[in-house]
Structure 1
Amino acid sequence: PLPPKKTGMLHPTTQVIREMNEFFRYYGYSVVEGPEIEHVEYNFRKLNLPEDHPATDLQDTLFVSQPDILLRTHTSSVEARLLAEYEPPIRAVVPGKVYRNETANKTNNSFFFQYQGVVVDKGITIQHLKSTLELFHKYLFGNDVVLRFRYKYYPEVSPGMGTDIRCTFCGGKGCEVCKFRGWLEVLGSGMIHYNTLKMCGIDPEVYTGFAFGMGLDRLVMAKYGITDIRKLYGGGIVYV
C-alpha cells in the first residue's frame, strides 16, 4: 500500500507556543491559563490602573452588558490572579488570547495572542529580567538576534521596558513591516510595581519581581516571515 499523504501541520502560533512553553518549563516555570471573560478588578485595578486610566476607556476595551465584566485586554489579568492567590516564590507563564477595540491592519487586530511571564521572589532584579529575555530570544531566533531595551511606561511595573528586535524582514534597513524603523517591538516588561504587589497581598518590602508580556503574533510573524497579521486568522489554510 502507498504511504499516507501528509494532510496538514500545526498552525504557526501553536508551534511557537509549544516552543516557548518548552523553554520556560526547562527553567522552572509553570504554564497556566485564565479566563478570557474577566472582571475589571483583575484586568485593571490590581495592576495599578485606576478608573480614569486611558486604557480603561470604551474606545480601547470591549465591555459586556454585565457591570465590570470585560474581554481581557492582556494576559496580565492572569498575573494579577496568580499574585493574589499564591504565595511567593512564583514563576509562571501564561499563553492566551486577548481582545482590543482596534481596527485590523497589517500589524494589529481586534484579538490576538499574548504570552505573559511573571516571577516573584526575594532578591529579583532587573538584570534577571534582561538576562531571561536575552536567553529566550536567542532560543527562538538564534544567536544572531539583536535586541534593544528602552524605557517605556506601563502602570503595573516600575521601571518599565519596551523590547525590540532588529527587523527580521529587512535586517534593520527599514521596511513596511517595521514601519521603516528597522526594529520590531515584541514585548513590554519591567519590575512589578510596589503598588501592584501590595494590592495583590504580597509584601513589597520583602519580595520583588518582574513581568513581561509578549505580542505572540508579532513573534510568529518575525520567526516565519509573515508580513500581515491577518493571515494568521480567518478561514484560509495557507499555513496548515
Structure 2
Amino acid sequence: TDYYNFTALNAPADHPSRSMQDTFYVVDRSGDEAAVRGESDVLLRTQTSGVQVHCMEDQELPIYVVAPGKVYRRDIADPSHLPQFTQIEGLVVDKGITFGDLKGTLDYFCKAVFGPERKTRFRAHYFPFTEPSAEVDVSCGVCHGEGCRMCKGTGWLEILGCGMVDPNVLQMSGIDPEVYSGFAFGVGVERVACLKYNVPDLRLLLQGDMRFLRQF
C-alpha cells in the first residue's frame, strides 16, 4: 500500500515518487486514504524497503534480515532501466549499530561478489528513510579505475543505496530510537549481474537468447 511503500518510510506527501508518472497504482479507490495525485492507495511496490517496516512491526528485536523481491517502476526499458526487476533489501536493527558496521558489511559484500581486488567508495546521498544516506560504488572491472565507456570515464560503477535507518522510521514502527539504531541497504540483482559480468544492457538478461545465456 501507499503507507508501507511511502508514508512509513518517511516519504513526504509531495515526494515525486508518489506520482502516477513514477508508480503503478492498481486500485481505483477514493477517500481519506487516497494516494497523492491518484485515487488509489494500493500499488505495485517501487522498492523492497517496505519490508523494513513489516519486519520492525512484526518481529522481535534484534532484527537481521535479507529479503529479495520483485519491484515495479514506470520506467521505459533501456540499457540501464527496467520496469520490473529484482531487489534485495537488507536491514539490521540492534543496540549500538553504527555507520561503521554498515560500511564493513557492504565492503565485505562487494569484495565477495566482485573480487577482493576491487575498491569501494561511499558517496553522500538522500533517501527519505535513512539518515545519513549513501550510494556505494565499486571500482570498474573493465578499466580497473582508469576510466572507460563501461564506467562513463569515472573509474567507478554505482552498486546500491544504503544508510542508517531514520529515527522517524524506527519510531513509526514502535521502536525507541534512543535505545536502538540500525542500517538498511537495497541492491538491484540484475544490475549487479550486469556489472559483475560486464554486460552492457540489462535487457539482454530477459530476452531468453541462449547464445547469450550459455555463458552463465
Q: Same fold (TM over 0.5)?
A: yes
Q: Does 1:207 align with 2:169?
A: no
Q: Does residue 46 of the first structure (1) align with residue 8 of the second (2)?
A: yes
Q: Which moved more, 1:57-66 or 1:111-120?
A: 57-66
> 1:54-69 to 2 correspondence within 5 Å?
54-66=16-28, 67-69=40-42
So what's the TM-score if we normalise by structure 1?
Answer: 0.80
Distance 1:201 1:75 in 2: 20
Residue 213 of structure 1, CA deviation: 0.6
Q: Which residue of 2 aligns with 1:88?
A: 61
**Code of the aligned partner of 1:82:** C
Q: Equivalents in 2 of 1:151, 1:130: separation in Å?
A: 13
Question: 1:106-117 residue pairs with structure 2 within 5 A?
Answer: 106-117=79-90
User: In the alignment, which of 108, 113, 118 is matched to residue 135 of structure 1?
Assistant: 108
Give a deviation string over 1:90-141, Cα, whole Å, max 9, x none. Answer: 0000112111111111111111111110000000000000000111111112
TM-score (norm 2): 0.89
Alpha-carbon distance in structure 2 between the residues aligned to 1:107 and 1:193: 29
Question: More displaced, 117-126 or 72-81?
Answer: 72-81
Structure 1 CA distance, aligned partners of 2:129 and 2:190?
Answer: 22
- Residue type of the partner of 2:54? R
Aligned twin of 2:36: none
Report the AA paired with residue 104 of structure 2. Answer: S
| Per-residue deviation, 1:177 | 3.0
Take 2:169 and 2:42, find their aligned partners in 1: how far apart are those partners?
Answer: 20
From 151, 154, 164, the equivalent of 2:127 is: 154
| Local SS of the residue matching 1:195 | helix
Once residues 107 and 173 of structure 1 are traced to their aligned partners in structure 2, the CA distance between those partners, rounded to angstroms, is 22
Segments of structure 2 that go 5 or more residues without pairing to the other structure are 29-39
Structure 1 residues 176 and 57: alpha-carbon distance in aligned structure 2, compared to 1, 3 A threshold: farther
Is the Cα contact below 8 Å between 1:169 and 1:222 reproduced in 2? no
Range with greater deviation from structure 2 (226-235 or 39-48): 226-235
Q: Distance in 2 between matches of 1:159 and 1:79?
A: 17
Contact 1:107 1:177 survives alignment (8 Å): no
Once the two structures are superposed, what CA deviation does each residue of 1:34-65 show, in whole Å capped at 9, x if it has no partner?
Answer: xxxxx111111111012211111112111113
Q: Supply the distance in 2 between the matched residues of 1:223 and 1:135 (Cα, whole angstroms).
A: 15
Which of 167, 171, 176 in structure 2 is aligned with 1:194? 167
Segments of 5+ residues of structure 1 without an aligned counterpart are 1-38
> Which residue of the partner structure matches residue 21 of structure 1?
none
Question: Which residue number corresponds to residue 229 of structure 1?
Answer: 202
Q: Percent identity, please.
A: 47
The 1:51/1:125 distance shift into structure 2, 3 A limit, reads same
Query: Which residue type is aligned with residue 156 of structure 2?
Result: W
User: 83-92 or 59-68, which moves further after superposition?
Assistant: 59-68
In 2, the alpha carbon distance for the partners of 1:163 and 1:75 equals: 18
